[in-house]
Structure formats: structure tokens, C-alpha cells
Chain A
């Protein structure tokens, strides 16, 4: 029995931290995520994948300025290209990417701008990034989309402020 009790104490001694560690991490996570205003993609509406070129805003892909320093980039993904594949904005801009696919599943990743979203046919994907430093930011398709998947990319060119 004595041995049983010691084991029992050890069991308790581990159960408590096993609860505390995940809970602590979860709290830290929530604070950092919501404190920094990080948002994941949500429901932004559907689009018929066979009629993308006739559906607004994808009938006119490109960048529009919504307000000073705030842009929206409408991008169409299809095998194996983004349209447009080059976007120019001034440094300090916030750009919301609105992307959909005409065919299979693609991805949209901009390293260094915290933009990472799946591009599904039938769904409008939306992700926002900030571009402070001038330079070239490649955007890559990061979901396998066929034999030339590795050639599918484009870039955001951030120009020194006007």
C-alpha cells in the first residue's frame, strides 16, 4: 500500500503540470493572437469557379487603392499562373489580397508579410499584409497544383515612398 500511495502522489504531481502547461500556452497564444489583431481567413463568400472571369471583382484583376495607403489586390489563380503576377505599391502600404481559383486548389504565401492562405475554387480567400520596407516580395503558390506547380508565382514590388 505504501508504494501504491507514493505512485499516486507522483501521478498527481504530473497530472497537474500536464494540465497547467497546455492551459498556460493556450492563454499566451490567445493574448498574442488577439492582442496583435491576427486574424485567420473566414467566410468571404462563394464564386462559381467556371465563371470567375465574369464575376466581380475577378472580372478585373489588379490593384485598387481603397484609401490612402490601403490597397486591395484582386488576383485570379489558375494552373500555373497568377493574374496579375506583379503588383506595385508604395512602402508603408497595407494590402488586402482577394484571391480565387479557376480550377484546382492553389495556395498564396508571402514570406515576410504574414500572408498565408489557401486558394480554393468556389471560395473567395482574403488575407491582409503590411509592406513597410521597399523591395521585392515574391508570392508563391504553396499547394501542389500539377506538373508545373513550381513555376507558379508572382511578386509584390514595394517602392520607396512617393
Chain B
């Protein structure tokens, strides 16, 4: 019961952040469509203030808080025991909430208009860096609590395979904890002392290397919880079984090993890093495509088993037999569908030479709204369609409204993201108040209104989503729905070799790969960087 209140607290913070993210998204989209950026002073003081809020609220706050709430819930349920330390869990929540407030004060006050990547020497108020660091420390404490819970369960069940959902939740947090060491080092050794005036200079390149050490695997931190739902809950919601439990475990172990040593693929166009290291990271990026394909196969086969059990036939026609009337399932299946396009686009980004065409163009926000903005966000929305009613103890206010919202997101996103991808190929830069730019190209003008139209549809979808949840809390009457049960598997945990349930070999491999991929570059930069760039407030 206590765990439920904890999850409710995290999810509430997450959804408030998402609300802010959706509103700022609308402003940016209509600015691209040629409308003047609305003068909203003093609340939102510029396009870039909006974009900083948008990035931080959506991908740092919404995702992190939702994931902490959701996976702690899943862990306890999958193991059938409560969290090892409820007091630690609540302390962690308040630490993270406190950090969030500390970071939000300068962010909202336009004293941290540095976008969610906060590249120095652009210099935000110190409270922004300290606040975000506290949030990261909070996530480490979540890992600690999950680990203690797992240990407690293991002591009583020495021979059993870890239940799949619990195993996946733990892998997600362990991977993230290792990955976050990069950003932690950037904060503790560079940004915090520098913003406090304890050291006078900084360095752009080293900061970027540390940032992207965390910044790439963070996308797996967002994605893996959606996979937890796709693997362990969605097959059951679709009326079927998970296809293969051992394959699911294998893919998560590969994500643990391969998520981190590939961050330099975000820095292909950075000067100061040898081409050879860039090539190695490109290689490993292609390797991480392997567990993604495994996931694709496993999840699609599971959906198919559900659809066939419901009378579905044919090679593709079975798809229509999925329980499309369930907004939770519809949201997640549509999220998967758009994610396949996101996956293909991701390969292009990761490609050595094609990256030169798309790097930092509008293609990138086109891509990331398919991945984190849909595969992750729409899946999380789908999860809340059962989670929020369950936590609130009453049914969802309207399934119809839920379905409308889900399809609007899908359709709006196709328009929005397609336009951004095309604009990127036409050489339009991202992170730019494009309507006011001095170099607006005639050929961009045909696609820009579609950014506004798609963005407006997304905004409407977002508002319907929040309306439905608010009405669920305020006006819905009736019995609470049950939580979806974890799916059984066609090839179950009994087929999973014991090695898939061990930690040491995989963790060792993870660290070795990180050392190879990052060690030499980090050592060289740490030894030779002069830290001679002063900070600047440029907004």
C-alpha cells in the first residue's frame, strides 16, 4: 500500500512536468509555422527559454520521475515482496523533489536558459546544476533500494530464476547508475565549482565527452521501462503470451553491456577526438541494433500470439484482431509502430557519413519525437491508462476519449515528425527560432506550416489526455480496474540458462568495454585540458 502511494507521488510529479512540456512544445511548433513567438513575459521570456523548459521538463523530469515510480512498483509486484526500505524510498523521493525545485527556480526564472544539454561555457545559475545533481543522486538511491529488495528476495529463493519483470527493472537501474557517472563527474568536478566561482575556467570538449557518456545511455534509461511493459504486460493485455523469456533476458543483458560505450556517436562532428575512436563507437552502435531487433521480433511474435488467440488470421491481417478498444494497448502498439521508423532513422544518425548531413538539423528533433516523444511517451501514457485508475481506486473516466487521444498523438506525430525530418534534409538547423532567422530559405516554407499543424494536433491530444486523467480523479465512479498480470511465456524462464541470471560476468564485461571505448580519450583529456574558457550568460 505504501508502495502505491510512493508510485502515485512520482507519477504526479512526472505528469505535471509533461503538462509543461506539452504547452511549451505548442509554442515552439507554432513559432516554426510562422506565427510570432507569443510575448509571454514574464512567464516564458523567449523562444530559447521555452526550449530549455521543454527539454528539461520532458526528458529530464517527466521521464526520470515516471520511471522511478513505475519500476519500483513493478519490482515489488514481480518479486511479490515490498520494497526493502520504505523509509529510504520516501527519503529518496523527497531528495529528488527537493533537487527538482532547486533546479526549477533558476530554470523558470530564465537564469538557466542553457537547454537540457547545458553545454559550457554557457553558464547557468549554480542552483540549476546542484538541483539536477540531487535528482541524479536520488536515482542512485532507487538503485540501492531495488538491489536490497532483490537481495532479500534472493535469500529466500536461492534456486529460482528472477522473475523477468524484476530482472529487467534492475538491469535498467544498474545500467543507468553506471551511465550517470559521466554527468556526475561533469557536475561535481566542472560545472558546480565553476558556477560557484571556486574555479575560473572550464572546457567545452571535456564537458561534452562527459555529458554524452551519460547522454546516449540515458535514452535506454527512458526506453527500457517501456520495453518492460512491452515484454511483460502488453502480451497479456493483447490476450497472448510472451514469445521467449530467455531471449528477452538476453536482450536486456546486451543493453546493459552495449548502451554506454557508444556515446561518442553524438560527437562525430566534434573537433578534438580522433576519427578512430569515433569509428569504434560507430561499430558498437551497430552492435546495439542487435538487441533492438531481438526485442522487435519477440514483442511482435507475442502480439501475434494474442491476436491469433482472438481469431486473427493471415500474415498481417491478424494485426487488426488485437484488442484495439483498449486505450492502454492501442497506445503501446502505436508507439511500437512509430518506433520502427525511429529505429531506422537512428541508424542513419549513427552512420559515419550520413551523420554529416543530418547532425544538428531539424532531422534530429524529428527523430527524437518518434523515439522519446512517442515510443517512450505514448507507452508511458498507455501505462497510466491502467496505473492511474488503479492507484486512484476508480475506473478511467472515458475509454473513448482515451482512444481518441492516442490516435491523435499517432496522426499528429506522423505529420509533425515527417515535416521536421524533411526540413532537416533541406539543411534547416535545429534549436533555432527559425521564423525570426535571417536566412529562412524559400524551400523550407512549404514544410514549416506542417510543423505547426502536427504540433497543434499533438497539443490537443495532450490536453485530452490530461482532461481524462483529471476527470478520472474528480468525477469517475465505480470499482477500480485490476493491474494487468505479468504475461506467461511460450518459452519460459525454465529454458533460460543460469548464466542469464548472473550479474558479475556481465558487469565485468560492461566495465571492460567502457574502459576500452572511453578510457584513453578520458585520460588524455583529463591530463591535457587547460580549463581556460570563462563562463558567459548569453541570453
Which residues of A approach B to under 8 Å, CB–CB? 3-4, 7-8, 10-11, 14-15, 17-19, 21-23, 25-26, 29-30, 32-33, 36, 38-44, 46, 48-50, 79, 101, 103-105, 107, 109, 111-112, 114, 116-126, 138, 140-147, 149-151, 153
The residue of chain A having its C-beta at the shortest distance from the C-beta of B246 within the complex is A11
Shortest CB–CB separation between residue B143 and chain A, in angstroms?
A: 29
Residues from chain A with a CB closer than 8 A to the CB of B87 are none
Whether A103 and B121, one on each chain, are in contact in the complex, defined by CB atoms closer than 8 angstroms, is yes
Chain B stretch 292-306: residues in CB contact (< 8 A) with chain A: 293-294, 297, 301
For A79, give its contact among B272, B293, B491, B538 (CB under 8 Å): B538
Between A and B, 13 residue pairs with Cβ closer than 8 Å are A18-B294, A22-B286, A22-B287, A33-B351, A39-B275, A42-B273, A104-B119, A104-B536, A122-B205, A142-B360, A144-B115, A147-B46, A150-B432
- B residues neighboring A (CB under 8 Å): 46, 48, 51, 113, 115, 119, 121-122, 203-205, 208, 243-244, 246-247, 267-275, 278, 282-283, 286-287, 289-290, 293-294, 297, 301, 347, 351-353, 355-357, 359-361, 426-427, 429-434, 436-439, 441, 490-491, 495, 530, 532-534, 536, 538-539
Q: Contact check: which of B286, B490, B538 meets A25 at CB < 8 Å?
A: B286
| Contact among A7, A43, A109 for B244, CB-based, below 8 A | A7
CB <8 Å contact, A121 and B286: no
Additional A-B contacts beyond A29-B282, A103-B121, A120-B208 (13; CB < 8 A): A11-B246, A11-B491, A22-B287, A26-B282, A41-B269, A101-B204, A103-B538, A104-B538, A118-B267, A122-B205, A138-B441, A142-B359, A147-B46
Cα(A78)–Cα(B84), bound, Å: 53
CA distance A86 to B297 in the complex (A): 52
| B304 CB → nearest A CB, Å | 11
Query: B361 is contacted by which of A3, A25, A109, A114 (Cβ under 8 Å)?
Result: A109
Check A146 against B353 for contact (C-beta < 8 Å). no
Complex contact B271–A120 (CB within 8 A): yes
The distance in angstroms between the C-alpha atoms of A24 and B353, with both chains bound, is 16
**Min CB distance, A34 to chain B, in Å?**
9
Complex contacts, B287 vs chain A, CB 8 Å: 22
Beta-carbon nearest neighbor of A126 in chain B: B271
Bound form: Cα–Cα A97–B286 in Å:
30
CB pair A29–B352 under 8 Å, yes or no, is yes
A89–B353 CA distance with the chains assembled, in angstroms: 25
* Complex interface: chain A residues within 8 A of B357 (CB): 114, 116
Q: Is the CB of A149 within 8 A of B532?
A: no
Contact of A120 among B272, B289, B360 (CB under 8 A): B272
The distance from the CB of A103 to the nearest CB of chain B, in whole angstroms, is 6
B481 CB to nearest A CB, Å: 31
Query: Given A41-B270, A120-B270, do A150 and B533 touch, yes or no (CB 8 Å)?
Result: no
Give the distance to chain A from B301, nearest Cβ to Cβ, in Å: 7
Task: Let me know if B244 and A144 touch, CB within 8 A.
Answer: no
Taken together as a complex, chains A and B put the C-alpha atoms of A43 and B267 apart, in Å, by: 13
Task: Name the residue on B nearest A49 (C-beta).
Answer: B533
A122 touches B297 (CB 8 A): no
Nearest A residue to B489 via CB reads: A7
Chain B residues whose C-beta falls within 8 Å of the C-beta of A144 in the assembled complex: 48, 51, 115, 431-432
Beta-carbon contact of A122 and B536 below 8 Å: no
Q: Which residue of A lies closest to B535 (CB)?
A: A104
Task: Find the A residue at minimum CB distance from B490.
Answer: A7
Contact indicator A122/B286 (Cβ below 8 Å): no
Q: Which residues of B contact A36 (CB under 8 A)?
A: 353
Nearest B residue to A112 via CB reads B427
**Minimal beta-carbon separation of A48 from chain B (angstroms):** 6
Closest chain A CB from B174 CB (angstroms): 24
**Which residue on chain A has the smallest CB distance to residue B52?**
A144
In whole angstroms, what is the CA distance A124 to B290 when docked? Answer: 36
* Alpha-carbon separation in the docked complex, A36 to B495 (Å): 47
List the 7 closest A-B pairs by CB distance, nearest first. A111-B427, A146-B538, A142-B429, A18-B293, A125-B271, A150-B437, A120-B204
In the complex the two chains form, is B271's CB within 8 Å of A124's CB?
yes
**Per a CB cutoff under 8 Å, which of B119, B283, B351, B532 touches A105?**
B119
| A147-B48 contact given A116-B357, A118-B269, CB 8 Å threshold | yes
Choose from B243, B273, B491 the contact partner of A4 (Cβ within 8 Å).
B491
- Min C-beta distance of B150 to chain A, whole Å: 27
B95: shortest Cβ distance to chain A, in Å? 30
Q: In the assembled complex, which residues on chain A have CB atoms less than 8 Å from the CB atom of B356?
A: 38, 40, 114, 116
Are B437 and A104 within 8 A (Cβ)?
no
Question: Does A22 lie within 8 Å of B437, measured CB to CB?
Answer: no
Q: Which residue of A lies closest to B206 (CB)?
A: A122
A140 to B273, CA, bound (A): 23
Q: Given the complex of chains A and B, what is the CA–CA distance between A15 and B254 in angstroms?
A: 13
In the assembled complex, the CB of A45 is this many whole angstroms from the nearest CB of chain B, namely 9
- A114–B282 Cα distance when bound, in Å, is 19
Query: How far in angstroms is the closest Cβ of chain A from B78?
Result: 22
- Kindly list chain B residues whose C-beta atoms are within 8 Å of the C-beta of A119: 271
Instruction: Report the Cα distance A42→B272, complex, angstroms.
Output: 6
Q: Is the CB of A116 within 8 A of B269?
A: yes
Whether A18 lies near B204 (C-beta < 8 A) is no
Q: How far is the CA of A149 from the CA of B355 in the complex (A)?
A: 22
How far is the CB of B528 from the nearest CB of chain A, in Å? 8
- B341 CB → nearest A CB, Å: 16
B360 to chain A: which residues have CB within 8 Å?
107, 109, 116, 118, 142-143
Q: Which of B204, B274, B351, B534 contacts A42 (CB 8 A)?
A: B274
Cβ contacts under 8 Å, B429 to chain A: 107, 109, 140-142
When C-beta atoms are compared, the residue in chain A nearest to B429 turns out to be A142
The answer on a CB contact under 8 Å between A42 and B352 is: no
Instruction: Report whether A40 and B205 are in contact in the complex, using a CB–CB cutoff of 8 Å.
Output: no
Question: Which one of B115, B352, B434, B532 lies within 8 Å of A48 (CB-CB)?
Answer: B532
> In the complex, what residues of A have CB within 8 A of residue B203's CB?
122
Cα–Cα distance between A111 and B270 once the two chains are bound (Å)? 18
